[in-house]
Amino acid sequence: MNWVERLRTSMHGLAESLGNLLMEAFHYLALFAIGAITAWAGVMAFLGMLEKGHITVDDILLLFIYLELAAMVGIYFKTNHMPIRFMIYVAITALTRLLISDISHTHKPSWGVVMVSGAILLLALAILVVRYASSRFPAVAGPNPRGKARNREDAESERDDTSD
């Protein structure tokens, strides 16, 4: 029976290794695809702006959204953690873009402006909460799953931008 247990253990180890390999391959492929799509969308938006002949604040904020999305992909690629603050920044930028677009097209105040402004304020407060929580209750540093050398900036970014 001892050889059966060894066979089961080695088969389990092989299946786990193969599963980890496939998951990492999918992970890298998805990250590259998301990064490429973000870059493509940013370039196409920029070319559309040049084609129009003028650039508005709305267009610039759209480019900032693409920049923040690309930064999120880069940070996730380096640290294997999703930066929560960047998602909130994207939401704030998108709401600001909506607010500017609404005001520039309607030219009159409405409750929608107040609600969007309140949502931006709530998101800004959420960033403060995330920053406070990450400094007050830092995450326990574990082994880096990709085996990459980590520097101080990566560790600080991970501590500031993740929450469990």
Task: Give the separation between CA 29 and CA 27, rounded to whole angstroms.
Answer: 5
Task: Report, as an integer, the average pLDDT of 73-83.
Answer: 83
Task: Give the separation between CA 147 and CA 128, rounded to whole angstroms.
Answer: 31
pLDDT digits (tens, 9 = 90+) for 25-62: 998 899 899 999 999 999 999 999 999 998 888 889 89
pTM, rounded to two decimals: 0.66
pLDDT digits (tens, 9 = 90+) for 90-126: 999 999 988 888 888 877 778 888 999 999 999 999 9
Both tokens assigned to 143: 């082994």
Question: Within 13 Å and on the Cβ side, how many CA atoms surround 139?
Answer: 16
